[in-house]
Structure 1
Amino acid sequence: MKKIASILLVIGVGVLGSGCSKKVPDVITSPDTNISVSVFVTEQNTLAYSVMRAAQPVILQSDLGLQLTSADFTQGITIESRSRVIPVSDDYTLRVGKKSHITYHANEQTFSILNAQQQKLILTFRVSDDGVAFRYAVKDSLIANKTFVNETTSFQFAENTRAWLQPMSVAQTGWSNTNPSYEEHYQMDIAVGTPSTLGAGWAFPALFKTGDNWVLVSEAGINRDWHASRLHHESPNGEYRVAPPQSPEIFIAPNGEKGALLANSSDDLISPWRILAMGDLPRIMESTLGTDLAEPAISVPDEAIKPGHASWSWAILKDDFTTFDVQKTFIDYAAEMHWDYTLIDADWDKKIGYEKLQELVDYAAQKNIGILVWYNSSGDWNKTPYSPKSELLSHEQRKAVFARLKKIGVKGLKIDFFAGDGQSMIAYYTDIMIDAATEGLLLNFHGATLPRGWQRTYPHLMTVEAIKGFEFTTFSQADQDSVAAHVAMSLFARNVFDPMDFTPMAFGDIPNIKRVTENSFELAESVLMISGIQHFAEIPEGMATAPEYVKQFLQDLPREWDEVKFIDGYPGKYAVIARRAGDVWYIAGINAEQDNKTLNLDLGFAAHKNAVLITSGDTERSFSQQDIGAATTHTITLRPSAGFVMVLK
């Protein structure tokens, strides 16, 4: 209550125009005036902000501040000057995402902040109709070595706020010491202030509901000089602080030299944008803040950027089937399904070899299928045995490997087992993306960090795992039993801004596992999940059990989306999302609840297009198809763990 009263007092002073000008907040509003941000110096001479939306408090008084080894901007603060509020806009295209043509409008204000030593920090706020973003920049030439120590940025929520959060895993735990990889189950609808279950923080994006507003907190626009952040594992009284990575999350060079953990630069030091998408669920689900705040695209040959669909043997068949003959079968399978790629997974260099890889690439090219190959990113930071390993650690190595793969005709790489979020590891990701762009190779990061808008800056980055994906449901029955709610949750957080390589969809059996989702649920994932290359888990034998109209649906499924419309849903319970490609709308929905779910769908947005519905048949593994014509509404009831797809054209 003290913080709420403090906000009202500060806002009141500003409105009344009190002579205490030092404490009067600067107020920045969104273009539609629904969102207002107050930035001010507190009575303790620290920097703070608060956010209102539709006249309701969303972020209560929260801290701002940055501490470097040679400059402290967390106390003794004054605002030296501020720019006028100016409109900013951006117009860009996105090959990997839920919209192809995006226009961003916001109001921006920049503050020049001085500490007691008269050192300068630049703070910039942007307020758009769908949220708030801010970042720090240290450009003071008198601060020679700009090395991060601490960030006091926080997000204070009212105590009755609810949260949907993914715990960060503890570094150097898990299989072969490969954590953290953003591969935990979400804690859903928990009270704010609940400590992280693993004691290592909460991953971005983090979802909250406060009053009538939802808030999705994340970061975007991260560069090679900064580390990736998360929320602190403790949030007393609902105050979540930005926290750095754990000490082992660093790049280790072949000579054993350890890279930096925290942000540092001898030049300008610029933080990622801290972003808060806010509003109702449709506003959150349709927001593009995660790429709006990312840096513009680097130069990559247009012909090299080809989103698509891929066959992939490893998801169900695992290690023993990464052989020449099996991969040739999966190339045939991709061609039959009119897909674009076949991914050849770990240990291909030992089990197939470069000479036979060339044969597979040539064979695939005859069928207009591109080949993707797996690489192990790691040096000595984990104990993973899979190869090719330790071949990408330096620029010289990458240059040689990428040139060789390009000459063979390989289209891209899946690179696995990164060490986490330290600054040197973020620089490693960045160097890989830049070097791959030179050869026009597509990228897929696994065992990896959240991409934070990289797919805009590096348009050849097709997808990133950073999710407890389908493979885990093949490892344990517990993960399989919880998969429906997990998928329904990930759509509202992990996959809102960034591509997600969940590797969805299985219609047949999974060895030693009892599948709990109906085939209609699995089919719906193909539309619900955004991934630049969608690696389908299903194998030829499972696909053979599907009716021809399901195969036709998957053959015709678009590779890129032009528009998104959120229809209905609730995190962890159910979701209905519409996506448009050209003139055709695709709608998909899933029910992750324990009871039947009746959905009343408004189809009026599709301009009376004829609709065909595919959903469950009489049994869990069967389908049914229905032509529902040009209806403007439709009611459908889904069984638990069932789903549907609808095509309107």
Structure 2
Amino acid sequence: MKYLNFFAFLLLLTSAKYSYCQKQSVVFSSPNKRLMLTVNTADKKLAYSVKLGNTTIIKSSALGLVVDSTNLGDNARITGAAVLSKINEDYAIIGNHTVAHNRANEAEIPVTAWGKKFSLIVRVYDDGVAIRYTLPANAKRIDSEHTAWTLPDNIAKIAWADYSQSYEGLNYVTPLDKVTEGKTIMGPITFQTNGYYVSISEADCENFPDMAFMRTGNVLSVNYPFAKKGWEIKPATAVLKGTYKGKPVSPWRTTLVAGSLNQLVNSDLITNLCPPPAKGSDFSWVKPGRSLWQWWSVGEPKLDDQKKWYDAAAKLKWEYYLVDDGWRNWKQDGKDQWQLLKEVIDYGKTVGVKSIVWVDSKEFRKAPERRAYLQKVKALGADGIKIDFIPDATAEIMQWYAETQKECADLHLLLNFHGSVKPTGLRRTFPNDITREAIRGNEYHMTRYSRVMPPQHDVTVPFTRLLTGPADFTSVILNPKELTSTKFTWPHEFAQTIVYLSPITHFADQYQFYLDSPLFDLFQQIPTTWDETRVLSCTSLGDIAAFARRKGNTWWIGVMNGATEQEVKIPLNFLTKPTKASLVYDGETNTSVDRKEQVVSNKDVLTIKLRPSGGFVAKM
């Protein structure tokens, strides 16, 4: 048996001198030397495991990509010394904080299986590990993948989502044995074990189909719901070609490990694994903000109603208005929908509100049509585009996403994919990909479609889908009619803007509800990106989500409760001095608030009684 420590490896020989033994094992450690990744070939099967100190995070689990009918995880042997490198960089990021720290140890391990040569590339961070495969020379087809995560025996809770082509399935927190077995489920999947929170997903998916999961016992395996029979490897057409250091590769398979929900949410593992923007790129034009949006509350936009929406956005001091599906049907004598759309956008500029325009992806699935359409939208004066109804996330469509990200970046168009696949960290490469749907949001809580959202979903998605990147949940329902099924409270709804990260936040309801709200002044001030984020200690996976976020010198607290009435305490020890605070509690009904203005200090502890589906908001 041979062992390789990341910092002191001596025993792996060159391929010329290498003699095979029944089990080879190489061990790599994180920069702080606490998290350990082991890769081995016991019984000629390529496998890995993860430990944090003496605690097992992932038990011995299969590795293997099936290429041209050959499983690269079988009959495998490590054929030489790993090529080691270190990752050490900082970069600006728009989201939970302003700077991401990318510190990792990386190794490229040469492997041979059935005579095919490839490499396993691994990275070990203080807060997680990532593994990807290089493809053998002249590979023509990917048939399937056998990468798996064998979970520890004592899973306290696990958070997961139903299968959905566009990630709009319900999210749950259950015991492991309640997770659907033998059927596709969607990630990220987050579980609590041995005092740690672990989340598994993927990063830097450029030209592979989207990865989902399937459970068998305590094993979660890679599943390709949009490429069940595999796919042919085709030449990449996008700037993102699915290569790393010049070699064709799979996406990273990620395992995020955190000692708390705060560490989990603040991890930048997914973006750290993605390439930076191209040299010379300038994304200073990417501006977060708040947006009005009419489709949820009133349906298709009416041409003669648009000025009222822009005027309302201006009164709210919001930066954007989204002209959603329906503008294509506008007509006036002598004017087509494009001319009318330009008039609407021009009016928005006169009141200081920028415009985002909805489009169906079928308008431009091919490159020439896509470029022409995007140029036309930009020429109208729009600042962003919302692209909806995107096909299944096959390898080809993942290239379409990358091409669209690049072309929108070139045209300085903000980008919001709807009816889409989950992000995999490539907003680092293209920061104009500022938010996307890929979540069961408030479109699934609306009376005109008889849709009702259960409260557990609301307090679960911050620790599943949102771990991969911003989500356009279309937050904040205030209309009492829409809050009669599940009686979400107004503070719960407002807290969505604090708990759910979306650098452009689209507010769901009709504008008059915000203008008439007792929280009108707070709507004028709420940020959408943050300098610092803290997940508060009263947070419990699947029960309650409580976040404190700082923008400049101002702290905002958002608390969202699940289905059970409860009382929580929030220490204000993050404050640096006594300060005026606006405190918004659940009111006597779910569509009222109990608002208080008082001075608070870092010695205070707030005691908050939460209704079922209730919430709390504070600005201080």
Above 0.5 in TM-score? yes
Q: 2:129 aligned to 132, 136, 140, which one?
A: 132
Give the letter aligned to residue 600 of structure 1.
Answer: K
Q: 1:213 aligned to 191, 196, 199, which one?
A: 196
**Aligned counterparts, 1:617-636, within 5 A:** 617-623=587-593, 624-634=595-605, 635-636=607-608
When residues 77 and 514 of structure 1 are mapped into structure 2, their CA distance, relative to the original with a 3 A threshold, is closer
Determine the structure 2 residue equivalent to 1:325. Answer: 304
Determine the structure 2 residue equivalent to 1:165. Answer: 160
Task: List per-residue Cα deviations over 1:351-386 (Å, max 9, x = no partner).
Answer: 2611111111111001111111111113xxxxxxxx
Determine the structure 1 residue equivalent to 2:505. Answer: 534
Q: 1:115 aligned to 113, 116, 126, which one?
A: 113
Determine the structure 2 residue equivalent to 1:424. Answer: 396
When residues 397 and 481 of structure 1 are mapped into structure 2, their CA distance, relative to the original with a 3 A threshold, is closer
**Aligned counterparts, 1:444-463, within 5 A:** 444-463=416-435
When residues 302 and 88 of structure 1 are mapped into structure 2, their CA distance, relative to the original with a 3 A threshold, is closer
Determine the structure 2 residue equivalent to 1:645. Answer: 617
When residues 609 and 566 of structure 1 are mapped into structure 2, their CA distance, relative to the original with a 3 A threshold, is farther
The question of 1:344 aligning with 2:323 is answered: yes
Contact 2:497–2:528 (8 Å) recurs in 1:
no
Q: Distance in 1 between matches of 2:577 and 2:183?
A: 50
Q: CA deviation at 1:500?
A: 0.3
Q: 2:174 aligned to 184, 189, 212, which one?
A: 189
Determine the structure 1 residue equivalent to 2:364. Answer: 392
Contact 1:316–1:510 (8 Å) recurs in 2:
no
**Aligned counterparts, 1:540-555, within 5 A:** 540-547=511-518, 550-555=519-524
Contact 1:304–1:441 (8 Å) recurs in 2:
no
Q: Distance in 1 between matches of 2:567 and 2:173?
A: 22
**Aligned counterparts, 1:242-321, within 5 A:** 242-247=222-227, 261=231, 264-265=234-235, 268-280=247-259, 281-298=261-278, 301-319=282-300
- With 207-216 and 293-302 compared, the bigger mean Cα shift is at 293-302
Q: CA deviation at 1:602?
A: 2.2
Give the letter aligned to residue 175 of structure 2.
Answer: I
Contact 2:140–2:232 (8 Å) recurs in 1:
no
Give the letter aligned to residue 616 of structure 1.
Answer: D
Determine the structure 2 residue equivalent to 1:433. Answer: 405
Q: CA deviation at 1:34?
A: 2.2
- With 344-353 and 68-77 compared, the bigger mean Cα shift is at 68-77
Q: Distance in 1 between matches of 2:585 and 2:597?
A: 9
The question of 1:408 aligning with 2:391 is answered: no
Task: List per-residue Cα deviations over 1:515-571 (Å, max 9, x = no partner).
Answer: 511101111111111012100012122124312xx2121211223212211113112
Give the letter aligned to residue 286 of structure 2.
Answer: I
Q: CA deviation at 1:582?
A: 1.9
Determine the structure 2 residue equivalent to 1:150. Answer: 144
When residues 34 and 46 of structure 1 are mapped into structure 2, their CA distance, relative to the original with a 3 A threshold, is same
Determine the structure 2 residue equivalent to 1:584. Answer: 554
The question of 1:480 aligning with 2:452 is answered: yes
Give the letter aligned to residue 117 of structure 2.
Answer: K
When residues 559 and 283 of structure 1 are mapped into structure 2, their CA distance, relative to the original with a 3 A threshold, is closer
Q: CA deviation at 1:237?
A: 2.5
- With 444-453 and 581-590 compared, the bigger mean Cα shift is at 581-590
Determine the structure 1 residue equivalent to 2:101. Answer: 103
Task: List per-residue Cα deviations over 1:609-644 (Å, max 9, x = no partner).
Answer: 524322223332222123242243322222221111
Q: Distance in 2 between matches of 1:349 and 1:248?
A: 36
Q: Distance in 1 between matches of 2:179 and 2:588?
A: 43
Contact 1:48–1:62 (8 Å) recurs in 2:
yes
Task: List per-residue Cα deviations over 1:435-460 (Å, max 9, x = no partner).
Answer: 11121111111110001112211111
Q: Distance in 2 between matches of 1:145 and 1:193?
A: 39
Determine the structure 2 residue equivalent to 1:376. Answer: 360
Determine the structure 2 residue equivalent to 1:386. Answer: none
Determine the structure 1 residue equivalent to 2:240. Answer: none
Give the letter aligned to residue 360 of structure 2.
Answer: N
Q: Distance in 2 between matches of 1:205 and 1:512?
A: 29
Q: Distance in 1 between matches of 2:447 and 2:139?
A: 47
Give the letter aligned to residue 227 of structure 1.
Answer: P
Determine the structure 1 residue equivalent to 2:345. Answer: 361
When residues 21 and 69 of structure 1 are mapped into structure 2, their CA distance, relative to the original with a 3 A threshold, is closer
Structure 2: gaps (5+ residues): 13-18, 237-242, 332-336
Q: CA deviation at 1:461?
A: 0.8
Determine the structure 2 residue equivalent to 1:173. Answer: none
Q: CA deviation at 1:575?
A: 1.1
Give the letter aligned to residue 344 of structure 1.
Answer: V
Q: CA deviation at 1:38?
A: 1.0
| 3-state SS of paired residue (1:606) | coil
Contact 2:159–2:190 (8 Å) recurs in 1:
yes
Identity of aligned residues (%): 27
Q: Distance in 2 between matches of 1:481 and 1:83?
A: 50
Task: List per-residue Cα deviations over 1:314-343 (Å, max 9, x = no partner).
Answer: 111113xx1112222111111110001111
Give the letter aligned to residue 32 of structure 2.
Answer: D
Q: CA deviation at 1:129?
A: 1.3
Q: CA deviation at 1:301?
A: 4.5
When residues 563 and 165 of structure 1 are mapped into structure 2, their CA distance, relative to the original with a 3 A threshold, is same
Q: Distance in 2 between matches of 1:54 and 1:613?
A: 42
Q: Distance in 2 between matches of 1:511 and 1:581?
A: 31
| 3-state SS of paired residue (1:354) | helix
Q: CA deviation at 1:291?
A: 1.0
Q: CA deviation at 1:210?
A: 2.2
When residues 415 and 542 of structure 1 are mapped into structure 2, their CA distance, relative to the original with a 3 A threshold, is same
Structure 1: gaps (5+ residues): 1-5, 170-179, 250-259, 379-390
Task: List per-residue Cα deviations over 1:410-449 (Å, max 9, x = no partner).
Answer: 1111111112221011111111111111211111111100
- With 601-610 and 404-413 compared, the bigger mean Cα shift is at 601-610
- With 577-586 and 420-429 compared, the bigger mean Cα shift is at 577-586
Q: CA deviation at 1:47?
A: 0.6
When residues 187 and 636 of structure 1 are mapped into structure 2, their CA distance, relative to the original with a 3 A threshold, is closer
Q: 1:227 aligned to 209, 215, 221, which one?
A: 209
Q: Distance in 1 between matches of 2:450 and 2:149?
A: 34
Contact 1:562–1:579 (8 Å) recurs in 2:
yes
Number of matched pairs: 589
Give the letter aligned to residue 344 of structure 2.
Answer: L
When residues 285 and 35 of structure 1 are mapped into structure 2, their CA distance, relative to the original with a 3 A threshold, is same
Determine the structure 2 residue equivalent to 1:256. Answer: none
Q: Distance in 1 between matches of 2:476 and 2:464?
A: 20
Contact 2:574–2:602 (8 Å) recurs in 1:
no
The question of 1:443 aligning with 2:415 is answered: yes
- TM-score (norm. length: structure 1): 0.85
Give the letter aligned to residue 201 of structure 2.
Answer: S
- TM-score (norm. length: structure 2): 0.89
Q: CA deviation at 1:70?
A: 6.7
Q: Distance in 1 between matches of 2:572 and 2:150?
A: 39
